[in-house]
């Protein structure tokens, strides 16, 4: 019985992961971004400001790849570089939240509404369980990525 439940959970989890990737690919295309740039922009938008080094550390990307990412997103006016007066080698990345929301909100608004409708069908206890799974699974994935990026 438990083996079948675990197998069903794995299949559902894999299907969710695949659907998430395909959806974000479609969102990125609609927004005129690569899927990677779309996801990294989402990460950058979570910060008031962030350095290229911090982006590299969080993502595991090389500094050269981060520079390319910043170049592409800056060209689309989704962020800007701000040089530090005391050390012009150090650059802070400032997300352009207004332009990013203009680009992404029309795409995400319907998704957010459908997600809220779905969540409202669960009890508070079920939501807490689902949230716990996502938080703990996220930690496992981050640990795995860190291990792979820094063996």
Answer yes or no: are the C-beta atoms of 40 and 76 closer than 8 Å.
no
Residue 18 has a pLDDT of 95
Percent of the chain with pLDDT over 70: 99
Report how far residue 99's alpha carbon sits from residue 136's, in angstroms, rounded to the nearest whole number. Answer: 33
Q: What is the pTM of this model?
A: 0.82
- For residue range 62-105, what is the model confidence (pLDDT) as tens digits? 989 999 999 999 999 999 999 887 877 778 999 999 999 999 99
**What domains can you pick out in the chain, each with its CATH number?**
2-120 (1.10.10.10)
Average pLDDT over residues 108-116: 94
Asked if residue 137 has pLDDT above 70, the reply is yes
When pLDDT is averaged across residues 6-22 and rounded to a whole number, the result is 94
Interaxial angle between packed helices 35-45 and 97-119, expressed in degrees from 0 to 180 and rounded to the nearest 10: 90
Q: Residues 142-147: what's their mean pLDDT?
A: 90
State phi, psi for 12 to the nearest 5 degrees: -65, -40
């Amino acid at each position: 019985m438990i083996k079948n439940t675990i197998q069903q959970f794995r299949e559902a989890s894999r299907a969710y992961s695949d659907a998430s990737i395909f959806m974000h690919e479609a969102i990125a295309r609609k927004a005129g971004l690569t899927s990677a740039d779309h996801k990294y922009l989402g990460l950058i938008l979570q910060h008031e400001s962030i350095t290229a080094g911090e982006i590299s550390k969080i993502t595991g990307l090389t500094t050269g790849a981060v520079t390319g990412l910043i170049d592409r997103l800056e060209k689309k006016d989704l962020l800007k570089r701000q040089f530090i007066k005391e050390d012009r080698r150090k650059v802070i990345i400032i997300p352009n939240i207004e332009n990013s929301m203009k680009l992404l909100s029309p795409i995400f608004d319907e998704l957010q509404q459908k997600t809220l409708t779905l969540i409202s069908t669960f009890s508070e206890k079920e939501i807490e369980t689902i949230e716990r799974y996502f938080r703990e699974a996220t930690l496992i994935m981050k640990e795995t990525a860190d291990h792979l990026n820094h063996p």
